[in-house]
Structure 1
């Protein structure tokens, strides 16, 4: 069976589905989808499944057929099922007509779709099943179904979306069409394979908890996934406990270059994060006059950026760097140094404005690690942030290929892309990260990992996973999401990194007797 973490485009899912349909008896996949949906629905309803009031919304396509088949199974399991069918039976596919016939022969009730809004609000539903539209939706949902979705989104009950929440683009995570609308589901059971749009953009707000039902399609029908969900297993080879026989030189140096006048805090945040994520030594290198020391983190060595030798350290450049000529000179030196390199913030803006700097970045022997937010990515691509957000996966892939770099495109469902096109979507993080300084912390984390010998790809995967997971941990403990500050993430990231290192690592043999 394919990995539950694999992500497939709509085109890939369609190709897999068509190949499987050609090899299986008619109606098999719809039957399996209905069974999988009903199973998940019963899990959500819980022990009150018998006579539980469940509303099933079925649309005109095969997604609606899946919903009808699920409704049939639910009714036969004893649930009190009401179906609103928004379809012309003469225009249904053969499989959907068969599901419709099965539903009519089961103990469920069909309600008049013309009274859909009243049906939705008339009862206190245990669960609503969304089978209005699947991955084939190409335009914004309009009346009367728009009003139906508005009513569902106003209810306080669980909503299970089948395959993809109606109105959500499965490839991009955007709402389909200008002025579009989508079902806001608490849970989604997605068929055949995972879809990237469920995990980035609006996906995490609208899809809720996602589970994959592969419909027992044989592995031979699947293509190799070009994208996957980020998780610790992807970078576990670099996680290991530290040997007793080690010293500060064993774990590398980080130079954090930034801190122009009035922006010293950004460099300090990044440097503190690098120190607490395991770098042996951390230099905070300021464009402006450096402070004598950081009173909260006196272990940091504060220097003037012009005095630093970038060749012997990992370098995180950009936090508070500014875009002055002096900043450009420092960035040029870092690009030419050959050092493991994290490029963030104003360093990205400088590269976006200079063909020469872009060429130096692209020509490096080893990929740098870029950490743009959407506007910075837009500047690098000479486009708008809206266009970047319209297809985050494509934007990250394009940047990685054009700049020969590992790109970490920040946002809900952060995208990590390699120059060759391999891609991962991060699953950790929450709105607590939407505050000043969190990007500086992320850059510092990544710099510390590079200093300890990590390659850019696993460092990016681990950096965003740890960064987001720290925010999730703090919110679960009651700190945030409102008012969480960037510096609060750092000790939590340290704890998570230590925990993962002991869980995934292999203990070094001890010399103690």
Structure 2
């Protein structure tokens, strides 16, 4: 069945948004695009104040020098007209605003909105703000924030953290790149960005709100399309990896089936001292529906897994790769035997996932890279940022500075489907289709969780899913399992990789076309 993506889940770059916006501005009516944005944001502002239970009516708004500032003027005007005490910091020159922004500014002034300076707000320790609205900088920010704005944002971040006042960002939290999810102009991931509890993003959703630091700064994201005609939007090749988009891909199992119907998975890894990694991957494949699982270890293989005796253990070199899905890398090490097994998997495996130590071996060996590029079968690479950096010949900082671009480069260079793991894991295939995964949390920042993800991917590949569909589904179910566990009070601190398995199974079953009777 074709994949369905909700319009709000489409992700557009800044350049694409600018193109859509230009068409919309050329065709806007008397009720302007800025007025529509202001109305949508004002409605959300009222909802947030009501939901927070705040008894006061004081709202602080920041208006920057561009059209994001114009949006803030319009919100201030509307909130003041609804009875709120709107205080606005104007950080731009009135003469330099667009005609629409000037019109919104005039409406705010005539409505009696109170204007003040950053210094006055910094000196005010008494006003109990019910809401802070961030219209300082939107998607147009091209360089790091100046000193005045840094001081102001640091102060407001402290106020919201101390008092719990909600912060609504207009389009994108000030200081954050809508494309990369990292602070604009920063040389690391710790640049200054306003910490929003909620973001209302205009026209369409943006990738930077959902990956890298974006997930920390954007809070809960909603989309206001502003009634722009669908014909103004170009074809979209990037989406949020939502549950709705995964429904019906994994079909309900027929009564007339057997273990051979759901594929064999071979896990290759587990050198001396690292057998646990391979066993975790094998258990994950078992919980994810593969028909048979063989765990091929480089270290001496145990007779069986006492927790899951369904898994069959073999010395890695005794397994035949030709008709099975192979997952290679968990605990593999870098021995000569490991390289031999990896080269055999690259040449013979019909479907292949390369993870962990196997990725580092590919990065360091041109012959392995050539074998990877020559593959015709389904291939998945699942690097974390350091492994991705090695594969691209970059630093981790360079990869994290633009995770979207790094994932595209990896997929194109190695002609594979890639999961670039991390906050907002990015899934990308060699043809440029991309998804950003919204599930998962810091509970996954522990050893073994990547091995579990590899096993889930392998099991779904074995069930005849495409590499792109398998990676999307596995990444969503893996992250959602962590979310479900944390919601039940299990983690994030101390959650173990093994604890993910039952919830992954539940989540995968929830995605089938319909439950068995």
Q: TM-score range by the shorter chain?
A: over 0.9
**Equivalent in the alignment of 1:44:** 48
CA-based RMSD: 1.7
Asked whether 1:200 is paired with 2:211, we answer yes
**Equivalent in the alignment of 1:267:** 278
Asked whether 1:177 is paired with 2:185, we answer yes
Deviation at 1:368, TM superposition (A): 0.2
Deviations 1:10-67 (A, max 9, x none): 0010011111111224771111111111011111112768962211111111101100
Asked whether 1:291 is paired with 2:302, we answer yes
Aligned residue among 415, 421, 426 for 1:415: 426
Q: What TM-score do the two structures reach when normalised by structure 2? A: 0.95
Deviation at 1:474, TM superposition (A): 0.3
Q: What TM-score do the two structures reach when normalised by structure 1? A: 0.95
**Equivalent in the alignment of 1:364:** 375
Mapped partners of 2:117, 2:324: distance in 1: 70
Aligned residue among 219, 230, 238 for 2:241: 230
Asked whether 1:214 is paired with 2:225, we answer yes
Aligned residue among 490, 498, 501 for 2:509: 498
Q: Is 267-276 or 81-90 further displaced after alignment?
A: 81-90
Asked whether 1:62 is paired with 2:71, we answer no
| 2:56/2:130 contact within 8 Å kept | no
Deviation at 1:112, TM superposition (A): 3.4
| 1:239/1:505 contact within 8 Å kept | no
**Equivalent in the alignment of 1:483:** 494
What 5-or-longer segments of structure 2 have no aligned partner? none
**Equivalent in the alignment of 1:353:** 364
Aligned to 1:368, the other structure's residue is in SS state strand
Aligned to 1:283, the other structure's residue is in SS state strand
| 2:346/2:371 contact within 8 Å kept | yes
Mapped partners of 2:502, 2:28: distance in 1: 54
Deviation at 1:506, TM superposition (A): 7.5
Aligned to 2:200, the other structure's residue is in SS state strand
Deviations 1:232-266 (A, max 9, x none): 34333432222222221111111100001111000
Mapped partners of 1:64, 1:89: distance in 2: 10
Mapped partners of 1:41, 1:6: distance in 2: 24
Deviations 1:165-201 (A, max 9, x none): 0000010000112373110000000000111000000
Asked whether 1:149 is paired with 2:160, we answer no
Mapped partners of 2:406, 2:148: distance in 1: 35
Mapped partners of 1:241, 1:12: distance in 2: 39
**Equivalent in the alignment of 1:116:** 121
Aligned to 2:327, the other structure's residue is in SS state strand
Aligned to 1:105, the other structure's residue is in SS state helix
**Equivalent in the alignment of 1:28:** 32
Deviation at 1:367, TM superposition (A): 3.2
Deviation at 1:2, TM superposition (A): 7.9
Deviation at 1:500, TM superposition (A): 2.2
**Equivalent in the alignment of 1:100:** 105
Mapped partners of 1:325, 1:16: distance in 2: 54
Asked whether 1:138 is paired with 2:142, we answer yes
Query: Do the aligned partners of residues 172 and 26 (structure 1) sit closer, same or farther apart at CA in structure 2, a change above 3 Å counting?
Result: farther
Q: Is 406-415 or 81-90 further displaced after alignment?
A: 81-90
**Equivalent in the alignment of 1:256:** 267
Mapped partners of 1:112, 1:100: distance in 2: 16
Number of matched residues? 505
**Equivalent in the alignment of 1:302:** 313
**Equivalent in the alignment of 1:91:** 96
**Equivalent in the alignment of 2:348:** 337
Q: Is 18-27 or 307-316 further displaced after alignment?
A: 18-27
| 2:56/2:129 contact within 8 Å kept | no
**Equivalent in the alignment of 1:451:** 462
**Equivalent in the alignment of 2:288:** 277
Mapped partners of 1:358, 1:474: distance in 2: 38
Aligned to 2:378, the other structure's residue is in SS state coil
Mapped partners of 2:254, 2:237: distance in 1: 36
Mapped partners of 1:31, 1:231: distance in 2: 31
Mapped partners of 1:339, 1:505: distance in 2: 29
| 2:61/2:135 contact within 8 Å kept | yes
Mapped partners of 1:376, 1:323: distance in 2: 14
Mapped partners of 2:55, 2:76: distance in 1: 14
| 1:169/1:197 contact within 8 Å kept | yes
